[in-house]
Chains A and B, each alone.
Chain A
């Protein structure tokens, strides 16, 4: 099971930090998806820290211990969305519960 905060609020231009925690998460790769309202998810980060093709540099990922983190630096209004972490567990895909990022 992967645990995320239900919501994060951030002012435009500030930094949004989204965490994802789970048992032995440090032993696994974490992936992050963005889902804007009414749209399908898109892959943002893979292998903990790698930005997927076309993803702006303001998105970054990190991992330490049993917590992975998605950071959005200089958050823009267009970044308002739900964010989901994903990892593997014994060959099955597991998603976090999702975090709604609100840009105030």
Chain B
């Protein structure tokens, strides 16, 4: 079945970097962009924050202004895996990081229809 499987939880100190992976299976890897979204605890609930996307065919990227200069997406087509590296970590980067596939339905190309299970990153 179509799925995205993400790497395990990480703990980093402030100022460090973290690199997460997201392995795709069950579909043609190069046909769909992969987005990265993080979920941050913010009273009274949790908010989703879009980080950007990577085109899995040619490696083209689009980053959110909020992460410019700190985030890098990459991919390995032979391994059907996408990576997200975030540098200069601060306590505010503590969050669950998701990779998500661009929806395959025409008319839903700006949405995500398959999500990874999420990776908890703790900056402490």
Binding site for B on A (CB under 8 A): 6-7, 29, 31, 40-43, 46-47, 50, 52-53, 82, 84, 86, 88, 91-95, 97-98, 100
Contacts and interface: CB of A to CB of B under 8 A. Distances in A.
Contacts of A7: 44
A43 B108 contact: yes
B45 A43 contact: no
Interface of B: 35, 37, 44-50, 62, 64-65, 98, 100, 103, 105, 107-108, 110-113, 115-118
A100 B35 contact: no
A43 B103 contact: yes
B118 A40 contact: yes
Contacts, number: 68
Nearest to A87: B110
Given A46-B107, A53-B105, A92-B50, 17 more contacts: A6-B45, A31-B111, A40-B98, A40-B118, A41-B98, A41-B112, A43-B108, A43-B112, A46-B108, A47-B108, A50-B108, A52-B108, A92-B65, A93-B35, A93-B50, A97-B47, A98-B46
Closest 4 CB pairs of A and B: A46-B108, A93-B50, A40-B115, A95-B48
Nearest to A82: B45
B42 to A, nearest CB: 8
A46 B106 CA distance: 10
B110 A29 contact: yes
A38 B116 CA distance: 13
B47 to A, nearest CB: 5
Contacts of A41: 48, 98, 100, 112, 115
A82 B46 CA distance: 9
A46 B110 CA distance: 9
Nearest to A52: B113
Contact of B110 (A6, A31, A52, A100): A31
Contact of B103 (A40, A46, A84): A46
